[in-house]
Amino acid sequence: MFPLCLSNVSVARRGKSVLGPVDLVIDQGGPTMVIGPNGSGKTTLLRVMHGIERISEGTAAWAKPDHANHAYVFQSPVVLRRTVAENLSYPLYLIKYAKPEINTAVEYWIERIGLGKVANRSATRLSGGERQKLAIARALIRDPKVLFLDEPCSNLDGQSTREIETLLLETAAAGTRIIMATHDMAQARRLAADVVFMKSGRIAETGLAPDVFDAPKTSELKAFFKGDILE
Amino acid sequence: MNDISQGLLAALRLIVTFDAELWEISLRSLQVSLTAVIIASAVAMPFGAFLAVQRFKYRRLIISIMNALMGLPPVVVGLIFYILLSRSGPFGVFGLLFTPWAMIIVQIVIITPIIASISHQAMRELWAEYHDLLISLNTSKWQRIKTLIWDGRRNLLTAGLAGFGRAIGEVGAIMIVGGNIEHATRVLTTAIALETGKGDFALALGLGFVLIGLALFVNISIHWLSRTERERRW
Ligand SMILES: Nc1ncnc2c1ncn2[C@@H]1O[C@H](COP(=O)(O)OP(=O)(O)O)[C@@H](O)[C@H]1O
Ligand SMILES: [Mg+2]
């Protein structure tokens, strides 16, 4: 299905441009970290790549489109008003997996994210970290080839953040292509193989993680790393 | 005062002795209103979910009409269906006038907008919560509606109970199309109107207690449902 080619993509909301124009090619590899200040268009870019954002100009196309092989974890996790186990089974139930297969997968993932004890409790009563882990497991249960995550660790404590990062690194090692937005530079350094730096709705710089972190080319990225407020 | 206390006593006697007439009328009330609620819900609930999920050209207009229909005066609904169902009317051949089915039909017409409107409201909130995930998971329209209905089932039951409360307490429309015929179309509200007119306060009050009991039951259920809704225990 790779590569994904964005060419000259723009997104406008209510007549105002919120993204673009951007050009980007996503091929195998990763994890890719999308970094940049708030409002720079990270979320919009991920949504465009996932195909759930209306593009006003340009094209975003996978070499072989296969939406069923994507998964997306939203910034504030969407939790179904069901039990933890039913949240996990939902994506498989949608594509009509057989009951025994669903149960096996649910049991595996529920143990993997450490929610075995609350399997039959309503997911709406989970803590923020547990919700996010549930959302990630629910995204991974269909074994996607591409996983998008939008700031999955914002507002989470260190323990949950570490668990999620471990899970993501294992997932990447198992061959899932991870593309993730984060505002946490330390996290970006820990996870990134390559980096997309966004500013004011544009891609200001891209590159391999060591290059980008150790020798940023653009003045914007230098200022961003220094901690300057970017407008 | 004496009238009332005597009436109360007599009413209680009727209730505790399972008076045949009281029993028959109460049961018919339940039959008519429950049937109306079930049929109205089967239409109104999926419709409410559909309105929440689907954007189309006249959606806003339809929602406005639905909300306006909630204010439809029952007596006028009764009058219209009297004309439609009477022997010379367009549906006269079915011979439904002055049968329980006529009462069920007018109750359906009265409560469908209410159930649809409350359902739509609940489904819209849920859809706002679920929208991104369900789009991301590439769900079909029908899967979305099914998911909303299932996960919003407590709210939908509340909508159904609100419809039931309205139906069981309604008197104007069913009086007109049912005719309040003994052993045929007499229900709690129409019987109370009749017995009060005749001055038989005992039976009227007894029927009134049953009606209040049913209304209380509905309200307590709604209250209990909204509590379990918050706790999400089922
Ligand atoms: N629903 C919306 N309506 C209008 N503008 C929006 C909306 N959501 C985001 N924006 C604007 O789009 C731009 C990019 O937002 P976003 O992609 O969410 O950035 P980031 O994820 O980097 O914070 C911002 O300028 C933001 O103000
Ligand atoms: Mg964002």
Domain map of chain B by residue range?
2-233
Find the ligand nearest to A198 CA. 1
Q: What is residue B147's predicted lDDT score, i.e. its pLDDT? A: 95
Q: Is the peptide bond before A21 cis (omega within 30 degrees of 0)?
A: yes
Q: What does the pLDDT average to over B96-100?
A: 95
- How many whole angstroms separate alpha carbon A122 and alpha carbon A136? 17
ipTM of predicted assembly, 2 dp: 0.92
Tell me the angle at which helices B100-136 and B141-151 cross, rounded to the nearest 10 degrees. Answer: 110
- How many whole angstroms separate alpha carbon B96 and alpha carbon B178? 9
Give residues with Cβ within 8 angstroms of A127, minimum separation 6: none
Find the ligand nearest to A42 CA. 1
Q: Dmax of chain B from CA atoms? A: 70
Assign domain A4-79+126-226 to its CATH superfamily: P-loop containing nucleotide triphosphate hydrolases (3.40.50.300)
Is 0.80 topped by the overall pTM? yes
- How many whole angstroms separate alpha carbon B140 and alpha carbon B60? 23
The full DSSP string for B92-159 is: GGG--TTSHHHHHHHHHHHHHHHHHHHHHHHHHHHHHHHHHHHHHTT--HHHHHHHHHHHTHHHHHHH
User: Best of A13, A17, A18, A202 to mutate for ligand 1, by most ligand atoms within 8 A of CB?
Assistant: A18
- How many whole angstroms separate alpha carbon A20 and alpha carbon A173? 31
Q: Is the peptide bond before A77 cis (omega within 30 degrees of 0)?
A: no
Tell me the residues of A at the B interface, defined by beta carbons under 8 Å apart. Answer: 50, 52, 67-68, 70-72, 74, 78, 80-82, 90-91, 94, 122, 124-125
Q: What is the mean pLDDT of chain A?
A: 92
Q: What is the pLDDT of residues B171-189, one digit of tens each?
A: 999 999 999 999 999 999 9
- How many whole angstroms separate alpha carbon B59 and alpha carbon B67? 12
Q: What is the mean pLDDT of chain B?
A: 91
Residue B1 pLDDT > 60, yes or no?
Answer: no
Ligand 2 centroid to Cα of residue A151, in Å, is: 7
Structure tokens at A215: 């020798």
CATH topology of domain B2-233: MetI-like fold (1.10.3720)
Q: What is residue B146's predicted lDDT score, i.e. its pLDDT? A: 94
User: Does the CA dihedral A136-A82-A127-A76 come out positive or negative?
Assistant: positive
